Structure 1
Amino acid sequence: MQVVNWLPRTELPFAAPSRPELLQALEPFEPFEVSGEEAAAAVAVAKPAAQALERPTERARVEVPRPSSAARPTPVVEDTPAPVVKAPVVPPPRFALQLLRAGRCLLLVELPTGERFQTRDPAYLLLKDMLRAAGLPDSPQIVGEPVRWPLLVRGTMDQGPEAARDFVQSFVSARLEDEPCACLWLIGLPAVRFAGEANAEAWYRQLQVEGLGVVWALPGLELLMEEPQRKAEVWQAMRRLMALWKSTHE
């Protein structure tokens, strides 16, 4: 029971006499003084221990984020450059033209076969008939070599429609500087298109072309042979224009 000293209330018979020092009253307890620094240190040590005893031990928990119902941001996609659309490559036009002179008129004629006229060619015989009907010499003189387009089979030179037009007009303009004419006949669609800057709608009409003067647009010789009814329209237009070259020819 951990009893150090025990004193009976009454004298026990046959007991040994008590020791006098044990019967003296104990001095009252006086608390010892503690400095401020020692007290603060003791509080600092005791406070965490007390909080640890008061707070139950908590297990470490790992918070796992839950998927939210909010819409996720759409990822930003950088604008990619649009593919470069190349202009379609226009093949060079293909034609052959022959320049002829009959009296005061120049004739830029489409060569149906691409080769020079022969005296017995049906197209050339039709041309002679047209010249006689117009009151012009029926044996026209050939002026220069035929103009064949494209000029080159290979190479990087531009041989498109605009280049063809510039070349044909420059060629005819140079011949006109050598000897002017009263009217330039453009026979065939290539001649009308690349010298007169017109199309089939201009057939049988008189046009004014800068650098070339007065021109007359006509269908090709092969087309006139395939569609003879067109000859009547040629004759009607010729009668209206004949004064242009007859006044200077006679």
Structure 2
Amino acid sequence: MLTETRRRAYLNAMQIVQWLPRAELPFAAPSRPQLLEPWLPAPGEAEAPGPGGDKPAPPPGRPRPKVAVPRPQAAPAAIAEAVATEPAPPVAKPAPPPRFALQLLRAGRCLLLVELPTGEAFQSRDPAYLLLKDLLRAAGLPDAPRLIGEPVRWPLLARGNLDQGPQAAQDFVQGFVAAQYEAEPCACLWLVGLPALRYAAGADDSAFYNDWPLEGLGCAWALPGLELLMDEPQRKAAVWHSMRRMMPRWELLDE
């Protein structure tokens, strides 16, 4: 048997506000007289028709039970306003296109990707070009390198919606050098200057004076730019020390 307290707890859980038992319940509270009065609809309230189309009448002496139907509550105004005014996530802006100019050359069995200090093609009396010739003579390579194609100047286009960010620049430079390497392989790829190092090998200035295998491009050797070597002559000692380690690579292949 259920006690009155537990019975009401069950009814509340089922959201039943008023109820009338079929028989007298033990331990139940006394019935309220107003619940035994016949149920009459309020003025203007219509009864819903039954399955056969007739309006059902409540059982004599029993009021119609009423059930409280929960209704969904609207979101608080503060929450709705916060959702409406929540700022949209920021859209990442594309990186600005880098600016550089590179020239690809061939000297003996070496390819050289060299930063153009002024952005213009080398001239025979340019100080940077004369320094490059000195480096080639010290390396035991021909000091009259052959130019391969036009300089690679980035960005390629001054206007337009074409992606010309850092990744696009790296893909372009690597593809350009790889095409020349496939046409005529080399013993070593010189990367002279930070732009050459960054966009051909994806490295930074910490790789200067070092060499490592570069996928699809053979062995790469990183050097400071010609303008930097002219501004900081003390770097030439490190270049020479690194060059002596690298020279057997192209000397043995030339024999």
Counterpart of 2:79, as a letter, is V
Deviations 1:146-178 (A, max 9, x none): 111001011111000000000000000000111
User: Could you say which residue in structure 1 is the equivalent of 2:168?
Assistant: 163
Aligned to 2:90: 85
Provide the aligned length of Structure 1 versus Structure 2. 177
2:199 aligned residue (194, 199, 214): 194
CA shift, 1:83, in A, is: 2.2
Query: What's the offset of the Cα at 1:129?
Result: 0.3
Superposed CA RMSD: 1.1
Retained in 1: the 8 A contact 2:104–2:151? yes
Deviation of 1:75 after TM superposition, in Å, equals 4.5
Distance 1:204 1:76 in 2: 63
TM-superposed deviation, 1:208 = 1.6
What does 1:1-40 correspond to in 2, within 5 Å?
Answer: none
- 1-structure distance, mates of 2:105, 2:165: 25
Q: 2:68 maps to which residue?
A: none
Matched to 1:160, the amino acid is: G
The letter of the residue matching 1:139 is: A
Query: When the two structures are superposed, what TM-score results if normalisation uses the length of structure 1?
Result: 0.69
2:219 corresponds to which of 214, 217, 222: 214
Relative distance call for 1:176 and 1:75 in structure 2 (3 A) is: closer
TM, length-normalised to structure 2: 0.68
- Equivalent residues of 1:91, 1:160 under 8 A apart: yes
Preserved contact between residue 94 and residue 165 of structure 2 (Cα < 8 Å) = no
- Unaligned 5+ residue runs, structure 1? 1-73
Find the counterpart in structure 1 of residue 66 from structure 2: none
- Corresponding letter in the other structure for 1:210: E
SS in 2 for 1:216: strand
Percentage of matched positions with identical amino acids: 66
1:77-111 alpha-carbon deviations (Å, 9 max, x no partner): 21234322121332100000000000000000000
Question: Where do 5+ consecutive residues of structure 2 fail to align?
Answer: 1-75
Q: Matches of 1:75 and 1:113 in 2, distance apart? A: 63
Runs of 4+ in 1 over 6 A off after TM superposition: none
